Amino acid sequence: MNKWKKWFARPAAAVLCTGVLALALSAVPALTLWLGDAGLLAQPHARTQKAGALALTGEDMYLTRVLKKYSRRGSLSGYQRAGTSPDSMYYVEPDGLLFHVEELASAGVLPEEWAAYFMDQIGLSTYQSEDSLGFVNYISYGRRDENLGYYIIGVTVESQSQKVVGLWGTAEEWAGLPEPDAPAVLAAYKTYLGMDSLADWAGPEGTKYAENGLYSASAGLLLACQSGFYVAYPDYTFEAGGDQQRMYFSLSAASVEESTVRGWQEYQRSFGAGAFRQADADTARLQEEQPEEEAMG
């Protein structure tokens, strides 16, 4: 990318250049096409920029549109999924993963103690993969002799916006990290994703996300923050033995239809709040050996 394209890609520069581009439109039509992507990420759709336009919806924002497509990836023709374990990924230096951890910490999304722990633990056992929609997975393990050690963190990043849309991090139980304040984390996460302009964010009452989630019906987007404990193994092949109780912290942004939320609410009305807890316990028993899958869909 040359220096002029970098300059135009800045949001402030794009605003300042609007009048100039309008005058140049007839003389340099190709320039308009070239500049089209500059304001794409997390910006209002053109129809919302008119005076008196209606409130923003999910269709007006790039990230919500691509997450909606991602939620339907299983039915997309030709979709190629990204690997989520070291034998289906490729080794990378940890810089890319560390960048996203630092960015989440700076935005107040990652609690200070958790961020410091991740920064200290992320090492050279870092792997990356990318699916055909441009979602990038990072995972990092600690080292234990010649084997991979305990799973430290997994992150999923939407490559064009460079926003983290999934995170699963773990720590030793004795590390004493505090339980994240879900409402504070979610408020910061909403801002980090550029979604403050949506006015209908609220905890989805009558679902298991009522206290640790935020839902926008207009965006069809669910943000969730969860933490707890699980049984971990020091090597993803389970050959090394020595299981360990570990803490986890997870964060996600997912496209969820309003009809799905209503279905959850109806389920709880029919079977009681305990039904979700039992379903979660059953799921945890099946998934405790591969926690990284939680972050990576």
Instruction: Give every strand in the sheet of 213-216, ordered side by side.
Output: 90-92, 126-130, 135-144, 147-158, 163-172, 244-255, 221-232, 213-216
Q: With 80 as the cut, is the pLDDT of residue 34 above it? A: no
Asked if residue 213 belongs to a domain, the reply is yes
**What does the pLDDT average to over 197-216?**
94
0.85 exceeded by pTM: no
Q: With 90 as the cut, is the pLDDT of residue 254 above it? A: yes
pLDDT at 58: 63
Q: Are residues 230 and 111 in the same domain?
A: yes
Q: Are residues 107 and 25 in the same domain?
A: no
pLDDT at 277: 56
Band (pLDDT 50/70/90 cuts) for residue 149 is confident
Q: Are residues 280 and 141 in the same domain?
A: yes
Q: Are residues 50 and 122 in the same domain?
A: no
Q: With 50 as the cut, is the pLDDT of residue 291 above it? A: no
Q: Are residues 44 and 114 in the same domain?
A: no
Q: With 50 as the cut, is the pLDDT of residue 253 above it? A: yes
Q: Are residues 58 and 101 in the same domain?
A: no
Q: Are residues 40 and 127 in the same domain?
A: no
Q: Are residues 100 and 65 in the same domain?
A: no
Look up residue 162 and give its two tokens: 């460079």
Q: Are residues 65 and 113 in the same domain?
A: no
Quote the strand ranges of the chain, DSSP E: 90-92, 126-130, 135-144, 147-158, 163-172, 213-216, 221-232, 244-255
Asked if residue 264 belongs to a domain, the reply is yes
- Name the residue among 140, 146, 145 with its Cα closest to residue 122: 140
Asked if residue 75 belongs to a domain, the reply is no
**What does the pLDDT average to over 159-185?**
94
Residue 287's domain comprises 81-295
Q: Report the chain's terminal Cα–Cα distance, integer Å.
A: 32
Q: Are residues 138 and 216 in the same domain?
A: yes
Give strand pairing partners of 73: none
Over the stretch 272-284, which tens digit does the pLDDT of each residue have? 766 555 555 544 4
The overall average pLDDT reported for the chain is: 77
Asked if residue 184 belongs to a domain, the reply is yes
Band (pLDDT 50/70/90 cuts) for residue 174 is confident
Band (pLDDT 50/70/90 cuts) for residue 270 is confident
Q: Total structural domains in the chain?
A: 2
Which of 119-133, 144-158, 221-235 tops mean pLDDT? 119-133
Domain boundary among the residues 70, 91, 110 is at 70
Q: Are residues 10 and 131 in the same domain?
A: no
Asked if residue 48 belongs to a domain, the reply is yes
Residue with tokens 């490559």: 159
Q: Is residue 209 a contact partner of residue 203, using CB atoms and an 8 Å limit?
A: yes
Domain boundary among the residues 70, 101, 124 is at 70
Q: With 70 as the cut, is the pLDDT of residue 4 above it? A: no
CA 275, 276, 277, 281 dihedral sign is: positive
Domain boundary among the residues 42, 70, 98 is at 70
Over the stretch 56-109, which tens digit does the pLDDT of each residue have? 566 779 999 999 999 999 999 999 999 988 899 999 999 999 999 999 999 999
Q: With 80 as the cut, is the pLDDT of residue 183 above it? A: yes
Q: Are residues 109 and 189 in the same domain?
A: yes
Asked if residue 166 belongs to a domain, the reply is yes
- Burial class of residue 29 (count of CB atoms within 10 Å of its CB; 0-12, 13-18, 19+): exposed
